[in-house]
Amino acid sequence: MKLLIVLCALISSIAAFAGDRNTAYEVVCKNLPFESDRNKCIKTIKPFSYFNDEALSICPSFPFATNQLLCLQYIGDKRYEPYEVEACKNTPFDTEKLRCLSDNGSQSTGGTCVSTRELIDQLMQAQNEIRTGSTGTADKRLTYLINKLQSCPF
């Protein structure tokens, strides 16, 4: 049980730095004024499983939806160091800011990352399995999560 608590604390601290498509939708797509732009935004974020939260916070700062969508394309599934995001935030012109986001960061390697929702669901199931004595099943579920998290770009 202690192992599960430590694992949950570790995972939640790691997950705080990464957003999934739902986060990108809430931060950017949901706030676009036109339905057509929201639909384009949804199509833009669909292929990505990860968005760096700090880089994602830059996207809504662009005054035009076109640039917000480009921002999402550039940062999707990329890791950014804090200094890279800070440099991009401090770039004065939108075109330079977009170029900065495009040129910086590291593309994620490996498989797809587990979404926050899936992570929570799987951890809750593992917790229930431990409580009911199905430790072998819980162990397999936690091993699966660890393997998925190792491919996450954070």
Within a domain: 94: yes
Residues 76 and 92 both lie in one domain: yes
Residues 119 and 87 both lie in one domain: no
Residues 42 and 103 both lie in one domain: yes
Within a domain: 79: yes
Q: Which residues of 101-131 are buried (b: 16+ CB within 10 A; e: fewer)?
A: beebbeebeeeebbbbeebeebbeebbebbe
Report field, pTM of the whole predicted structure over 0.75: no
* The last residue of a domain, from among 107, 122, 141: 107
Residues 49 and 85 both lie in one domain: yes
Containing domain of residue 125, as a range? Answer: 2-11+113-150
Within a domain: 16: no
Residues 35 and 103 both lie in one domain: yes
Check residue 12 and give its pLDDT: 45
Residues 41 and 85 both lie in one domain: yes
Check residue 112 and give its pLDDT: 58
Residues 101 and 132 both lie in one domain: no
Residues of the chain short of pLDDT 50, as ranges, are: 6, 9-17, 110
Check residue 73 and give its pLDDT: 96
